[in-house]
Amino acid sequence: AATSGTTTILLNFFLDRRFDPGVVCNGILAGLVSVTGACAVVQPYGAFIIGVIGAHVYYFGSKMLVSLKIDDVVDASPVHMFCGIWGTIATGLFCDHATFLDSYKTATNVTHGYGLLIDGVKGGRLLAANLVFLVTVICYVAAIAMPMIFVLKMLRLLRIINIH
């Protein structure tokens, strides 16, 4: 979180030439979201890298939504969705053998399938499983949300009309 918050401060200052406390707070949240899934199975250097990349995912995800004219006033999508996706992928990249066994002591018969960057090609199994998980969750959420959004749109309740 500290790494992501600091990285976000630097990105905000050097790219926008300003300091926005809201961006910094969301950068800290982005780091927390990014590392939560992997916190028990990565080394500190892995958590540091995950936080730095999480700050970039948040910052540029927020800029992308603005450029696409998608209204997300509190940047919930870049923080939670984009960084959550990154955190799931990061677990498949940085999962460490020793920390995995230390965290999950009953998993004594696991001999491979850690992070791709740590365990090489054998580590691709965890990353592949996490990618299948991501696709499944995205499909599930879309299947639940799209009918709801469609009904709200048909009832003209999706947008607030300017009363001025």
Maximum separation of any 2 CA atoms in the chain, in Å? 67
Q: How many CA atoms lie within 13 A of 12 on its CB side?
A: 20
- Rg over alpha carbons for the chain, rounded to the nearest Å, is 19
Tell me the two tokens of residue 78.
């870049």
Q: What is the pLDDT of residue 111?
A: 67
For residue 147, give both structure tokens. 């009918």
Is 7:52 a contact under the CB 8 Å cutoff? yes
Count the Cβ atoms, other than its own, within 10 Å of residue 48.
17
Which of the given ranges, 76-90, 117-131, 144-158, has the highest pLDDT on average?
Answer: 76-90
Question: Residue 41 and residue 35: Cα distance in Å, rounded?
Answer: 10
Q: Torsions phi, psi of 104, nearest 5? A: -120, 75
Does pLDDT of 164 surpass 70? no
* Region of residue 120 (phi > 0: left; psi between -120 and 50: alpha; otherwise: beta): left
**For position 115, what pLDDT does the model report?**
84
Determine the Cα–Cα distance for residues 71 and 48; give it in Å rounded to an integer: 30
Flag whether pLDDT at 16 surpasses 80: yes
CA distances 19 to 14, 47, 78, Å, are: 9, 25, 19
